[in-house]
Amino acid sequence: MTDGPVVDEPMVDEPMIDKPMIDKPVVVERDREHRALGLMLAPYVLGIVALVLIPFLVTIVMAFADYDLVRAPSWVGLDNFVELADDPIFRAALSNSLLFAAIAVPLRLVIALGLALLLHRRAAAVGTARTAAMLPYAVPEIAYGLLWLWLLNPLYGPINQLLRVGGENGATVLGRTPPQWLTDPVDARAAIILMSLFTIGETFVILLATRRALPGEVYELAAIEDATGWDVVRRVTLPLMAPVLVLLLLRDAILSLQISFVPALVVTDGGPPPYSTTYLSLFVYRNAFEYLRYGYAAAATAVMLLLTLAAVALQWRLVRRLRWLGRT
Amino acid sequence: MTLSSQPSRLLALLLFAVSAVGLAACAGGAEGANDGTGPVQLLVFGAPEELEAYRTLVAAYEVAEPGAEVQLVEASDREDLIARLGTSIAGGSPPDLFLMNYRYYGQFAATDAIEPLDERIAASDVVDPDAYYPTAMNAFQWQDRQLCLPQNVSSLAVYYNRDLFEQYDVAEPPADWTWSDLLTTAIATTRDAGGAVVRGTESEGGPPQVAVYGLGIEPTIIRVAPFVWSNGGEIVDDLDRPTRFTLDTPAAREALQNIIDLRIAYGVIPTDAEVEAEDDETRFLNGRLAMLMSSRRFTTTLRASAGFDWDVASLPVYANQVGVLHSDAYCMTRGSGRKDAAWRFLEYAMSADGQRTTAATGRTVPSMIEVSTSSSFLDPTLPPANAQVFLDAIATVRPLPTISTWPELEDVTAGILENALYRGDRLDDAIREIDELTRPIFARGEHAAD
């Protein structure tokens, strides 16, 4: 034991006198681990800083500047945001994006969940069915867009050809005109949502793995208690999968601002007029790369980021509220 | 197993090294692309047949100048070309040359991204400005500097399927035809599958069953402009420093209404669904369109793919014969690392030999006066037989304004005109909407005359 200074030392469980003798090799070992961890993380940290963090900061700064990529940027304060507020094309893009997210995100999740619950058991051809569910996700985006351009062709596309079977004079069997996917604003928005419903492969795989990992005992217990199938889904499966579902919901809400870009660019070209399928991502692309208005596009991107944050925060609060209600 | 074990450390070091090398390679690649070595890069876009024309020119140059190398960088369309050009300029690695229409080069001219060519032209033994059509040369002058050199000069023309005209016993367009003649001809050549004249408008009996439409025309400002001018109207309030479209004048409005009536009242042009299903050029190539308004660029495609006899006619007129300028030019980027080599190619492309080579592919009406009147362009063995139409139009062509925001203006107006043409939106509403949406865009623009 040592003299006086001992009374000023913090309270510890072990005698201080033993610490240096025991900790020295542990500390060295821990330092080595930290160094190795640091080295292993370095490429990713470098990538995140160079490809995400710096562009993010540059974008935020650029949002307050007039910049055409060639001449030096000039500071314009909030002008870009003021112009955005008055821009009817931006407003159309904003409402299109929100509508897309509000419809496509829950639909994508419900379909992926349905498929996961349907295909999690071993059964005949279940492997083929899982592959089929996954396949559209594996197709390159541009190829996927071009494929749909053909599928949605108003006259020669297989979808409308099928809808016309049994009808007369180019109408469906119900006597109605088939959807004008590329020329009617409502139908075109529906087409973009329809396209997004097939690229759920990743969500499906995550939910499939989650469902397969659920403990079998709870289902046996439910069977003993004569629970109906719907009760099992509602009271056992969904609560157990809830954390993953929430995560995927948040992820898809963020992604929704991006996944509409290629379909809108390749299939509908932002139309039919006026800007029926111009989403925020396409608005940003056009202003930045076609009109060389990078400052303006950066301001629109900042709004996109704010929207994403708001969507995530809203859902997070909703989930916490639901959990609280569940507990009480 | 602990992270501090030897294999983990080695893996970490390896990952770090690979990342560092990768980043260095990326950085090196970006610099190396424009360090003055390697081939001259020429950025272009076009249909496959047009791209083949440029490849022919490059091949001819490489034969004429042994050791010289030109790399064609092919963009998928105009938007892709602008995106590539803008980002490559910002990245410090632009192509040495690019080919661009006078309507779109303003946004790069305004940003000083294009190298002025006046000094090189003055010192050149090959490029004599007086040898080219002044209309085309002037279109590429920005603030009194010659920024680009025009490869071609053309006007809108009416391509027509001679076989269909003969089959339907309809007279071919005369040299001095009017808008009324065009309408009559379009009505006479809009037929059903049985060959009977049919009106392609919606009726109670269901959608029209039109096998051949009389005319194809895009609802865009460049298609509308010559008819507005011919009727005595104007497109903008001031060609040098435009502040607004002037489509609300009686003359402009009448010309616009007549174009809209082609679809809404007479049904002689395809519906929007039909255009989406099969664009006008493809429809014409497939023999389901009797006439199509397009520029010279369509000739290469027709020569390569048309399985029928075809020709061209001049634009119909209201009061005055007026055409609209179509011209593309070679521009040199200010950031090019191979300006001298690029200029040597440019000199060749603008020389009589270069212009003959491109003209022979059918792609261009040569901007060099001497070549345009030679057999290289007016080859009687190749269609169109009436190629003189393109030359006759040059004296009457007018340019659209050169303003840095023109691509935005075209995009905004196209959507509104499309709805007026295909959906029947009220013309006055369309004109008002165009005015409201485009005034701020005009206000942001920089002008060649400033």
Domain residue extents for chain B: 40-153+326-398, 157-324+403-444
Phi-psi bin for B145: left (phi > 0), alpha (psi -120 to 50), beta?
A: beta
Test B9 with A43 for CB contact under 8 angstroms: no
Which residues on chain B are in Cβ contact (under 8 Å) with A46?
19, 23
Query: For residue B21, what are the contacts with CB-CB under 8 A and spacing of at least 6?
Result: none
Alpha carbon of A288: minimum distance to chain B alpha carbons (Å)? 8
Nearest to A289 among B15, B83, B274 (CB): B83
Q: Is A173 helix (H, G, I), strand (E, B) or coil?
A: coil
Provide the 10 A C-beta neighbour count for residue A295. 24
Task: Outline where chain A has alpha helix (H).
Answer: 19-48, 54-62, 79-86, 88-119, 126-138, 141-151, 158-163, 185-196, 201-213, 216-224, 229-232, 238-259, 261-263, 280-285, 294-327
| Predicted complex ipTM | 0.86
| C-alpha closest to that of A103 among A279, A283, A319, A316 | A279
- Express each pLDDT in B193-241 by its tens digit: 999 999 888 665 555 689 999 999 999 999 999 999 999 999 999 999 9
* Spatial distance between the Cα atoms of B404 and B444, rounded to a whole number of angstroms: 8
The domain limits of chain A are: 4-62, 78-327
The residue with greater pLDDT, A19 or A323, is A323
Q: What is the pLDDT of residue B34?
A: 58
Whether B274 has its CB under 8 Å from any CB of chain A: the answer is: yes
Tokens of B416: 């509104």
Alpha carbon of B123: minimum distance to chain A alpha carbons (Å)? 28
Whether B9 has its CB under 8 Å from any CB of chain A: the answer is: yes
The residue with greater pLDDT, A6 or A51, is A51
Q: Which of A34, A69, A153, A169 to mutate to test the interface with B (most CBs of B within 10 A)?
A: A69
Vertex B347 angle, CA B346 and B353, to 5°: 110
Tell me which residues of chain B, numbers 415 to 444, contact chain A at a CB-CB cutoff of 8 Å. 415-416, 418-419, 422, 437, 440
Which residues on chain A are in Cβ contact (under 8 Å) with B276?
153-154, 182-183
- Express each pLDDT in A25-56 by its tens digit: 788 888 899 999 999 999 999 999 999 999 99
Contact yes or no for A198/A175 (Cβ under 8 A): no
Which residues on chain A are in Cβ contact (under 8 Å) with B85?
none
Which residues on chain A are in Cβ contact (under 8 Å) with B335?
none
* Spatial distance between the Cα atoms of A275 and A283, rounded to a whole number of angstroms: 10
Q: What is the pLDDT of residue B7?
A: 43
Nearest to A291 among B408, B416, B419 (CB): B408
Test A36 with B82 for CB contact under 8 angstroms: no
Residue showing tokens 């609280």: A324
Angle between helices A79-86 and A294-327 (to 10 degrees): 80
- Express each pLDDT in B287-322 by its tens digit: 999 999 999 999 999 999 899 999 999 999 999 899
Alpha carbon of A307: minimum distance to chain B alpha carbons (Å)? 26
Whether A151 has its CB under 8 Å from any CB of chain B: the answer is: no
Q: Is B324 helix (H, G, I), strand (E, B) or coil?
A: strand
Test B4 with A291 for CB contact under 8 angstroms: no
Examine the pLDDT at B20 and tell me if it is beyond 50.
no
The Cα-based distances of B315 to B156, B164, B300, B398 in angstroms read 7, 19, 20, 13
Examine the pLDDT at A213 and tell me if it is beyond 50.
yes
Secondary structure (DSSP) of B191-259:
B-TTS-B---S-BTTBS---SBEEEE---SHHHHHHHHHHTT--SBS-SSS--SB-TTSHHHHHHHHHH
Examine the pLDDT at A89 and tell me if it is beyond 50.
yes
Nearest CA in chain B to A171: B206
Fold entry, domain B157-324+403-444: D-Maltodextrin-Binding Protein; domain 2 (3.40.190)
Identify the CATH homologous superfamily for domain B40-153+326-398.
Answer: Periplasmic binding protein-like II (3.40.190.10)
Examine the pLDDT at B21 and tell me if it is beyond 60.
no
Examine the pLDDT at B32 and tell me if it is beyond 60.
no
The Cα-based distances of A162 to A103, A147, A179, A200, A242 in angstroms read 25, 16, 12, 24, 38
Which residues on chain B are in Cβ contact (under 8 Å) with A274?
415-416, 419
Phi-psi bin for B281: left (phi > 0), alpha (psi -120 to 50), beta?
A: alpha
Whether A154 has its CB under 8 Å from any CB of chain B: the answer is: yes
**Which class is A78-327 in CATH?**
mainly alpha
Bridge pairing between strands B141-142 and B145-146:
antiparallel
The identity of residue A215, as a single letter, is P
* Spatial distance between the Cα atoms of A268 and A181, rounded to a whole number of angstroms: 9
Whether A155 has its CB under 8 Å from any CB of chain B: the answer is: yes
The Cα-based distances of B151 to A257, A258, A274, B289, B354 in angstroms read 42, 40, 35, 30, 10
* Spatial distance between the Cα atoms of A77 and A62, rounded to a whole number of angstroms: 10
* Spatial distance between the Cα atoms of B370 and B359, rounded to a whole number of angstroms: 12
Mean pLDDT for chain A overall: 88
Bridge pairing between strands B148-150 and B141-142:
unpaired
Alpha carbon of B127: minimum distance to chain A alpha carbons (Å)? 29
